A and B are shown apart, each in its own frame.
Chain A
Amino acid sequence: MKRRYVQLDVFAGRPGDGNPLAVVLDGEGLDDATMQAIARWTRLPETTFVFPATSAEASYGLRIFSPRREVPFAGHPSVGTAHAVLEAGLAQPRDGLLVQQGIAGLLPLRVEGDGAKRTIAVRTPTARVMEVATASDPRLRDALRGLPLGALPPALMDGGRRWWLVELADETSLRAAIPDWNAISKLAHDTESMGICVFARSDDPVYYLAVRAWVGAPAHFEDAASGAANATLAAWLASRDALPGDTGFYRVSQGREVGHDAIIELLVDGAGEVWSGGRACTVVRGRIDWP
């Protein structure tokens, strides 16, 4: 059976700027082992599978797989899947909202605009502050050596996955920073976290924050565009009354240091909920034949 298949670039207005995602639009009939095998074969950070919703409140169901395992929630797969579902006409927003039904439950997505200008943001699971540390903390010292730190103390946040969030003094030092992978890997193992997400405030007219996300475990890599990590960062900034701008809405630049140029949009709404989103563009559209 041939199923509709889309490969998108998420948090990008142009192909290549964002974080890639594969979407199988007709997931019905695929078992867990087959979905995992497809996600391993695509070699992309995540592959999603779309199903008819089983809840009356949901617009569609989805499952999210990395090449190694199923992921309960992730930001860029949620945004990209909604984009693919809308393009294929599988669901329509109601009052500007879609509702995805994943294994983390029902989550709403806001849809604004249309076509290439369309932006989609997902309401992220509530993140909490696990720990506020100091830069001289022996667990952090090696990973932060040589980095000029900003005003906020380092914090460990849990938004499904755990990240250390560290403010740097300015955008120039953030972009020039060279990650110490051994130290980041040790920190990730010792604290059961993904690694470090560093951020700095910016004077750029488009974005208020520049972010880099260094994943220390299980592999070493710098993420091109991190929807969920940026959502935990927004929750951390909101908890310290330190959000950039004054409307609760701001844009983040991420990925330039690894050859991408993503823009992620964050909104902390009146109820304190964090929405993470942006644009997406379709790069490959076709069918997948996998028995």
Chain B
Amino acid sequence: MSLPRSTRRYLQLDVFAERPGGGNPLGVVFDAADFDAASMQAFAAWTNLSETIFMLPPTSGDADYRVRIFTPRQELPFAGHPSVGAAWAAVEGGLATPRDGALVQECAAGLLPVRVEGAPGHLRVDVRAPRAREIAGAATRHASEVDLALAGLALGQQAPALWSNGPAWWLVELPDGAAVRAMQPDLAAIAALTRASGAVGLAVHGRADAIDHQLVVRAYCPADNIPEDPVTGSVNACIAAQLAQAGTLPGRDGRYVASQGRELGRDGRVHVHVDAQGEAWIGGQVQRVIDGRVGWPAHVGNVR
């Protein structure tokens, strides 16, 4: 049995998951140095996963590995769950060895510090997210759309605001985690708000007092044809920045765990840490669900 063309290693991982199916899937193609961008994009469209990544040798002497991240439609400079999966794959696949638990990832957004803990098979990976900032005045400019998107919802203490760490997210605090889980989103109104303000989506969060998580999060991106995203790295980093600024971080010592995705039949856990410098780190466990080889032409020109 042979695949039709030269093959390379392929993994399909579940990120932010403590069991297969709990998190956000990610395709990983190893040894992709000879792939051209069009071929990467074609394969990412074919897998239909929210992201597919390609592992490459670093071009910077300061980096341990390089990764390119593609959605089915476009290349992304940075994304949270693909970066956590990339670091996991780099270590488990033997491409990089952490020094004192640290790695440096090279991606289109630049060099990104990564922390890796634990024994092989049980690695915990954390990546530092680009610094988030509030987009001042957005809530005033879009007050009527915000009101429509949140009509009938009881809100928490924090006023709704637009934050960005690359992608821009509307962040809305609800009174508690139970209110987050019970929310029936008005997707048409959320789509109108995010389109009008150039945001990727709207996320709600509320505190919980569970053994294994202190915050409940849900994220809606209806304008991108994703009614609700199962587990979202970037949004959890934005929420952490907002809570840190307000001085209301849950958990202890700037560390907490967010639960996301149960309403979609998933059970994602995002480990969040705001460090002494105010940088937000996001991480979690990774499950190796599919392990095999892929045969895909490295050059689109050879195919058509």
Residues of A within 8 A of B (CB): 5, 9, 14-16, 20, 37-38, 40-44, 87-88, 116, 259, 261, 281-291
The answer for the CA separation of A147 and B289 in the assembled complex, in Å, is: 46
Nearest CB on A from B271, distance (A):
22
- Interchain nearest-CB distance for A272 vs B (Å): 36
Give Cα A17 to B303, complex, Å: 9
Within 8 A of A (CB), among B91-110: none
Within 285-303 of B, Cβ neighbours of A (below 8 Å) are at 287-297, 303
Q: Of the candidates B10, B46, B50, which one forms a contact with A9 in the assembled complex, judged by CB atoms under 8 Å apart? A: B46
Task: Please determine whether B4 and A20 come into contact, CB atoms closer than 8 angstroms.
Answer: no
CA distance A43 to B265 in the complex (A): 14
Known: A41-B25, A43-B49. A284 touches B294 (CB 8 A): yes
4 more A-B contacts (CB under 8 A) besides A286-B290, A290-B21, A290-B289? A14-B297, A16-B46, A37-B21, A285-B292
Can you name 25 A-B pairs with beta carbons within 8 Å? Answer: A5-B292, A14-B4, A14-B303, A15-B295, A15-B296, A16-B46, A20-B47, A37-B265, A43-B48, A43-B50, A116-B4, A259-B42, A259-B45, A281-B4, A284-B290, A284-B295, A286-B290, A286-B291, A286-B293, A288-B289, A289-B20, A289-B289, A289-B290, A289-B291, A291-B19
A41 near B46 (CB under 8 angstroms)? no
Given A37-B265, A41-B21, A291-B20, verify A283-B295 contact (CB < 8 Å). yes
B14 in the interface (beta carbon within 8 A): yes
A282 touches B295 (CB 8 A): yes
Q: Which residue of B lies closest to A4 (CB)?
A: B292
In the complex, what distance in Å separates the CA atom of A259 from the CA atom of B3?
A: 23
**C-alpha spacing A286/B292, complex, angstroms:** 4
Which B residue's beta carbon lies closest to that of A33? B265
A38-B21, A282-B3 as given contacts; A16 in contact with B48, CB under 8 Å: no
CB distance from A262 to the nearest CB of B (A): 13
**Judging by beta carbons under 8 Å apart, are B297 and A284 in contact?**
no
Q: A79 CB to closest chain B CB, in angstroms?
A: 17
Give every chain B residue within 8 A of A38 (Cβ-Cβ): 21
Given contacts A16-B303, A285-B1, is CB(A40)–CB(B265) below 8 Å?
yes
Q: Which of chain A's residues has its CB closest to B4's CB? A: A281
Q: Which residues of B sit under 8 angstroms from A5, Cβ to Cβ? A: 290, 292
Interface SS of A by simple majority: mixed
Residues of chain B touching chain A, judged by Cβ–Cβ distance below 8 Å, are 1, 3-5, 10, 14, 19-21, 25, 42-43, 45-50, 265, 287-297, 303-304
Q: Are B292 and A287 in contact (CB under 8 A)?
A: yes
Identify which of A15, A43, A288, A291 contacts B4 (C-beta below 8 A).
A15
Tell me which residues across on chain A come within 8 A of B1, comparing CB atoms: 87-88, 285
Q: Specify which chain A residues have a CB less than 8 angstroms from the CB of B10 in the assembled complex.
A: 284, 286
Residues of A contacting B45 with CB < 8 Å? 259
7 smallest CB-CB distances across A and B, nearest first, come from A286-B292, A43-B48, A290-B20, A284-B294, A288-B290, A37-B21, A286-B291
B161 CB to nearest chain A CB (Å): 32
Nearest CB of chain B from residue A263's CB, rounded to whole Å: 14
- Within the complex, the shortest CB–CB distance from B182 to chain A, in Å, comes to 22
Q: What A residues does B43 contact at CB under 8 A?
A: 16
Residues of B within 8 A of A14 (CB): 4, 297, 303
Residues of B with C-beta under 8 A to A282: 3-4, 295
CA distance A38 to B20 in the complex (A): 9
Chain B residue contacts of A286, Cβ below 8 A: 10, 290-293
What is the bound-complex CA distance between A283 and B290, given in angstroms? Answer: 13
In the assembly, what is the distance between CA of A287 and CA of B293, in Å?
A: 10
CB distance from A163 to the nearest CB of B (A): 23
Chain A residues within 8 Å of B289, by CB: 41, 288-290
Q: How far is the CA of A14 from the CA of B265 in the complex (A)?
A: 35
List residues of chain B with CB within 8 A of the CB of A9.
Answer: 46
List chain B residues, Cβ under 8 A from A42. Answer: 25
> Bound complex: CA of A116 vs CA of B48, how far in Å?
24
A44 to B14, CA, bound (A): 16
The interface residues of chain A lying within 8 Å CB-to-CB of B50 are 43
Residues of chain A within 8 A (CB-CB) of B288 are 289
On chain B, the residues within 8 Å of A281 by CB distance are: 4, 295
Residues from chain B with a CB closer than 8 A to the CB of A287 are 290-292
CA distance A259 to B25 in the complex (A): 23
B46 touches A285 (CB 8 A): no
Cα–Cα, bound, A5→B49 (Å)? 17
Chain B residues near A37: list those with CB within 8 A.
Answer: 21, 265
Note all chain A residues with C-beta closer than 8 A to B290.
5, 284, 286-289
